[in-house]
Structure 1
Amino acid sequence: MLWKHQDWRTGLAEVRHSRRLTVSFVCTIANYEYGFFWHFNQDETIKAEVKLTGILSLGAVQPGESRKYGTTIALGLYAPVHQHFFVARMDMVVDNKPGETFNQVVEVNVKAEEPRKNNVHNNAFYAEEELLTSELDAMLDCSPLSARHWIVRNTRTINQTGQLTGYKLVPGSNCLPLAGSEAKFLRRATFLKHNLWLTLYALGEMYPGGEFPNQNPRVGEGLATWFKQNRSIEKTNIVLCIWRDAHSKIRRLACHASGTYRFCAQATLLSCYRCATKFK
């Protein structure tokens, strides 16, 4: 459903059906299949989803024994609790013509108004914007307590109401790495220390974890190294790198085939909404 409304005065109802274009691919990595789905909708929203399926990687336990770090799913078998991290790299060119680089990013937090004369019912709140101007200021984290989101907008294009045109980035539910700061995998994936990174586009800076993540840390590779340049990200070509955690505490499934336990899970990586459209 794209849109629906029923007028309470007349009783008349209208509805518009929706269609969407989905671009997808599946990667098989060891015991997992990862399905990536990019949905392009008629209302100009873009949504990225990840589906996890395949077979479980299990450990053995003695009869009657349980594991603190996993879930018993069958006699003598347990599945460890674990995390998956998926990174989306988006080269944002919002309403730019070829050769133009007029984008900027603002962080938006919703705040409650202080009790005062014009807030007698103590229920007023407002959205506050902060312009992000450099890479070191743009290592960002999600905050559900303030409905935090980000807007990538064009500084030279406005719509009929005078608003700068742009896209709002809304991350899915997330969880930071459940590991100590000295964990070895964080040396390879230092970008996991923050949920969202904004960086200046540069040829050759393609992979947040470096070109060969299994061999990292490598000098000069990855987001954590690029950010040390502290380049300006105001009115330029901006790249967004956002990651999503899929936290897996396996539940016991009722079905299995050929002695292999199957599963399927789904996570929303991100959603992009048109927050101001240019009308011709």
Structure 2
Amino acid sequence: MARKPVKFCVVDAFTDQVFKGNPAAVCLLEDEKDDEWMQSVATEFNVSETCYLTRIVDSDSQSTTPRFKLRWFTPVTEVKLCGHATLAASYFLFSYGLVNSDKIEFLTLSGILTAKKVPDSKTSNSIDHQNGDVQEEYFVELDFPVVPIAVHNSAKISEISKSLNGASVVEIHETTTEEDLLVVLPSGKAVVEAEPLFDEIKRCPGGGIIITGPAPPESGFDFYSRFFCPKYGINEDPVCGSAHCALAPYWSKKLGKCDFVAYQKIIWTVRNRRGRNQGFYPVTY
């Protein structure tokens, strides 16, 4: 029996320029594939995340919102939550006319996640001069879960500090989903200057290590962060939406606010889409 081809697309998330942002491979499946196959394909792509979409057809449902199963794989393992690959999957479905709706629901290991197409009121639609089509300008708004954190064993501070080449550690928390460590440093400057030792990070407890610190007052940002996850086959993730699911509630409590402009060391952006080398990430908690 002939094998069915799989539709796929590689999307550079958080940028409008090729070879910038954070790449994610998006595969649209006509039927379910086994885990070994999906992991092998993700390893072959060898980008930070490869995601798989399978359309859900429910004849009894009264909802007109399209629904898809969504799973995410790094080059070495499946993960429970990924922001930039969900953004890439949403963009793929919206931009190629694969859904007739401005809202999509994804069934995932982290529950039901939603993506909305939001018109960009600050820019007018552009024209593709090659074929005369009007190119719609829009954002994709994701509704992601809050990831609770708990205080981690303070006896591990010296071990964590060693994995960051001696960086001063203020406190350590642990996320309750992937058991990533959220490590607070004294300042955003310390976050930028941190020198991760990836072999040491692999020996640390938990999954990955999120480091964060308060942004300088003059920067225009609320907090800085970086995410190291060599156990997942990614030394440093340029864009990490799932990390911000833990960062937002932490900084909401610290700063007494619910809207943030967050800066990641390998810069990424939603609003101005300027790419990997500059930008910001707005977070609403």
Same fold flag (TM > 0.5):
no
**RCO comparison, higher one (Cα < 8 Å, 6+):** 1
Please state which band the TM-score falls in when normalised by the shorter chain. under 0.3
Q: Structure 1-normalised TM-score?
A: 0.27
More strand by share: 1
Larger radius of gyration: 1
Q: Structure 2-normalised TM-score?
A: 0.27
